[in-house]
């Protein structure tokens, strides 16, 4: 049976490159506003509003102006009350739309949950049928082809192909087997072939799918440290502006123009940071959602935020930086042999070699020398010699035509230098010094040499050497250059010797490497980086990676890995693509940049509204302020109402940006600050002047306002 366990390396890289360009993309449609409106109305409850200090002040102000609209009705008071409620509603709408996308994903996950009957094994080995909800941690269950796995666990016996499309969205089945790093299975997935025994590792209601549902719905989302700090800052600014507005009343009274509570409330709402206060929660939810869109499950918002602050990335060499299997990249003839002769010998010795290295040799000679990829009829009758750990060689023996068995046979072998050297000498041949020189040169450059030799007519000789190399995935150098521009240090982790590791690290363009790495070495490296004030991210899939995943600030466990690894990390990649760690960092940075950009816009926006409204309000009292009324707003009432309307509408206008995120481009912190100030700072200053002026042209036509 030929089943593809994961994407091929080429497909994986292409998939990663395509996804990389989508960081900053998001799906938003105006219809989502209408669909989320009922949820937004439900969030008007005071218990929900108390969670957001800024919007709670607006909610209280809306309630207060509504009371005045009933007790002392006027067109101005009614319109102010209506638009203040719209401000609260639009803030709720931003959060509801963000949560709505998660709920749609949660509903899809719920459909994957099936009530199953498990075949639980008793202590004497007999089977008993029990409901899946009755399974407990440690129970062993049998699952055969066509049956649904009843709960999360690890395969302890057997091997099977499993359809995980309901969880990962990947249609290709995967292999799960006991005793390795691909033993974890998820409840709700389906076994397609063979029979496995699974040891249950989670309680009912606490499965992987249950946790995913809670997280994507937002029910399990907790505010991150930065989000809490920003909330405190916004609350402080609200108090400062509250005191500033309260201080205006004595001044107005002294001047003989006391302001009404409705006017002061409207002014307060326009000056406090309602824009970022309304969008803050939506930004955090959308950050989690962008990860879910890329099949990454973050167990906490803290992990997403930490990803944006990561300054050291630990990356496994195999499967992340390189394709994972060494490939033939060059044929080097020795002695009197030509490259074509080496190619023909290399092909013959690899026809029966089913290893990735053997297949890559055939691919090389087919591509560069035009040789046939498959054996012809004569070659099919030959005796194939498979690779074994004892011989460390593989090859083929072609019988000479018309000769007795064993007489004049042509033998072709390839393998480790020492094994082939001994094989040649046993047949009376000589290995030239040039062979040793080429082998040493390849080894020093981080490659693996395979010597190709022939024996025919009682004569044995070396044809040449095949260079096997760890091939760095396309585009990795560019990605590491981007990370370096962001101030992120990249460290390659490998079990190779230092010489090989250095060569691959230079080829890939990483900043540092850890060779001959053991679990304790990874832990020591992470702790050393963290002591220097750096946040560290790494990927892993095995039980031996669990300690390092738990120690790192962002630990991304592969879904194909063991349950121990998934429990230790704070993110799980459902696609099991190690290169996605780079994309996760970009998503985390995008979250922080979006929050910073909208905060900059909101603060600048509030200051601009301050200078736009006050001159119009007090120009009748202090004639000198008339010079500052550059927009020529009609009346103080039209100025206040226009500002309140603009304050509400700008929240709706920014919902798509909050959900989609500010487009992320790798650059330094100073460059990002300049960009934020130029685009969002300047935009926050200019937009209120333009917006309030346009709205004033309309509202001045309303009787009792203009």
Binding site feature residues for ATP:
353, 357, 387-394, 414
| 325 secondary structure, DSSP code | S
Name, in order, each residue with C-beta under 8 angstroms of 55's C-beta and a sequence gap of 6 or more: 49, 88, 91, 274, 277, 278
User: Are 80 and 641 in contact, with CB atoms under 8 Å apart?
Assistant: yes
Find, among 438, 452, 447, the residue nearest to 467 by Cα.
447
- E strand segments, 471-548: 489-493, 512-514, 536-540
Q: Report whether 62 contacts 85 (CB < 8 A).
A: yes
Measured CA distances, 506 to 312, 489, 502 (Å): 18, 14, 6
What is the full DSSP assignment across 416-466? -HHHHHHHHHHTT----HHHHHHHHHHHHTT-EEEEEEEEETTEEEEEEEE
Burial class (CB within 10 angstroms; exposed 0-12, middle 13-18, buried 19+) of 508: buried
Q: Which long-range contacts (CB under 8 A, 24 or more apart) does 423-429 make?
A: 423/393, 423/453, 423/455, 423/460, 424/453, 424/455, 424/460, 424/461, 424/462, 425/460, 426/460, 427/455, 427/458, 427/459, 427/460, 428/458, 428/459, 428/460, 429/453, 429/455, 429/459, 429/460, 429/461, 429/462
Pairing state between β 489-493 and 117-121: unpaired
How far is residue 75's CA from residue 64's CA, in Å, rounded to a whole number?
16
Run of H or E residues at 327: strand 327-333
Token code pair at residue 505: 């690290």
Give the Cα-Cα-Cα angle 622, 624, 625 (nearest 5 degrees). Answer: 75
| HSE toward the beta carbon, residue 154, CA cutoff 13 A | 19
Secondary structure (3-state) at 70: helix
Q: What is the per-residue burial (b if ≥16 Cβ within 10 Å, else e) of 228-244? A: eebbeebbebbeebeee
Catalytic residue among 316, 496, 507, 696: 316
Tokens representing 160?
A: 């099977």
Binding residues: 353, 357, 387-394, 414, 541, 545
Instruction: Classify 24 as helix, strand or coil.
Output: coil
What does the alpha-carbon distance between residue 611 and residue 222 come to, in Å, rounded to a whole number?
Answer: 37
The values of phi and psi at residue 8, to 5°, are -65, 155
Residues 6+ apart with CB under 8 A from 308: 585, 587, 588, 589, 590, 591, 592, 593
| Spatial CA neighbour of 108 closest among 237, 209, 257, 7 | 209
Q: Would you put residue 211 in left (φ > 0), alpha (ψ -120 to 50) or beta?
A: alpha
Binding residue numbers for Mg(2+): 541, 545
Hey, what are 282's tokens? 């939506």
Output the CA angle 484-490-492, nearest 5 degrees: 150
289 is catalytic: no
| Active site amino acids | 316
């Amino acid at each position: 049976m030929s089943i593809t366990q994961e994407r091929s390396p080429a497909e994986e890289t292409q998939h990663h490159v395509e996804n990389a360009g989508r960081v900053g993309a998001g799906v938003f449609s105006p219809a989502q506003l209408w669909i989320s409106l009922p949820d937004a109305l439900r969030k008007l409850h005071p218990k929900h509003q108390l969670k957001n200090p800024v919007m709670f002040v607006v909610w209280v102000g809306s309630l207060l102006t509504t009371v005045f609209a009933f007790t002392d009705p006027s067109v101005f008071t009614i319109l102010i009350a209506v638009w203040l409620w719209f401000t609260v509603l639009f803030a709720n709408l931003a959060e509801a739309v963000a949560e709505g996308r998660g709920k749609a994903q949660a509903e899809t996950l719920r459909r994957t949950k099936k009530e199953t009957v498990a075949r639980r094994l008793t202590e004497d080995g007999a089977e008993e049928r029990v409901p899946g909800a009755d399974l407990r941690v440690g129970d062993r269950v049998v699952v055969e082809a066509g049956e649904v796995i009843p709960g999360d666990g690890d395969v302890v016996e057997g091997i099977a192909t499993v359809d995980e499309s309901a969880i990962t969205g990947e249609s290709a089945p995967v292999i799960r087997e006991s005793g390795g790093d691909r033993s974890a299975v998820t409840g709700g997935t389906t076994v397609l072939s063979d029979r496995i025994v699974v040891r249950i590792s989670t309680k009912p209601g606490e499965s992987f799918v249950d946790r995913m549902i809670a997280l994507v719905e937002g029910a399990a989302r907790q505010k991150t440290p930065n989000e809490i700090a920003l909330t405190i800052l916004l609350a402080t600014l609200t108090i400062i502006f509250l005191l500033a507005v309260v201080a205006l009343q004595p001044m107005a009274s002294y001047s003989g123009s006391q302001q009404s509570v409705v006017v002061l409330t409207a002014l307060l709402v326009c000056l406090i940071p309602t824009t970022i206060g309304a969008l803050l929660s939506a930004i955090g939810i959308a950050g989690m959602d962008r990860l879910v869109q890329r099949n990454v499950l973050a167990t906490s918002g803290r992990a997403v935020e930490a990803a944006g602050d990561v300054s050291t990335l630990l990356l496994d060499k195999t499967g992340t930086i390189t394709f994972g299997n060494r490939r033939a990249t060059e044929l080097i003839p020795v002695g009197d042999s030509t490259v074509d002769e080496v190619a023909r010998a290399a092909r013959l010795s690899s026809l029966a070699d089913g290893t990735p290295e053997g297949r890559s040799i055939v691919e090389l000679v087919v591509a560069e020398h035009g040789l046939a990829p498959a054996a012809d009829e004569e070659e099919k009758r030959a005796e194939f010699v498979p690779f074994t750990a004892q011989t460390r060689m593989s090859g083929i023996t072609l019988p000479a035509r018309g000769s007795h068995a064993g007489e004049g046979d042509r033998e072709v072998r390839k393998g480790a230098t020492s094994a082939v050297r001994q094989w040649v000498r046993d047949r009376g041949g000589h290995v030239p010094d040039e062979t040793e020189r080429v082998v040493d040169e390849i080894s020093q450059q981080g490659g693996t040499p395979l010597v190709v030799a022939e024996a025919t007519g009682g004569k044995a000789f070396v044809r040449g050497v095949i260079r096997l190399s760890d091939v760095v995935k396309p585009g990795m150098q560019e990605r590491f250059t981007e990370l370096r521009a962001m101030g992120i240090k990249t460290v390659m982790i490998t079990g190779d010797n230092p010489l090989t590791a250095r060569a691959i690290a230079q080829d890939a363009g990483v900043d540092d490497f850890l060779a001959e790495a053991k679990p304790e070495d990874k832990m020591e490296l992470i702790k050393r980086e963290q002591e220097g004030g750096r946040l560290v991210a790494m990927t892993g899939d095995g039980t031996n990676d669990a300690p390092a995943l738990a120690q790192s600030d962002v630990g991304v466990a592969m879904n194909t890995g063991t349950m121990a690894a998934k429990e230790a990390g704070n993110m799980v990649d459902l696609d099991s693509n190690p290169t996605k760690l780079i994309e996760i960092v970009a998503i985390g940075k995008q979250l922080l940049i979006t929050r910073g950009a909208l905060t900059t816009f909101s603060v600048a926006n509030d200051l601009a509204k301050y200078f736009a409204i006050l001159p119009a309000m007090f120009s009748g009292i202090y004639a000198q302020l008339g010079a500052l009324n550059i927009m020529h707003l009609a009346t103080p009432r039209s100025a206040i109402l226009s500002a309140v309307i603009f304050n509400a509408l700008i929240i709706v206008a920014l919902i798509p940006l909050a959900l989609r995120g500010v487009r992320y481009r790798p650059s330094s912190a100073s460059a990002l600050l300049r960009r934020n100030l130029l685009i969002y700072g300047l935009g926050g200053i200019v937009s209120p002047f333009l917006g309030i002026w346009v709205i004033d042209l309309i509202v001045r036509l309303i009787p009792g306002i203009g």
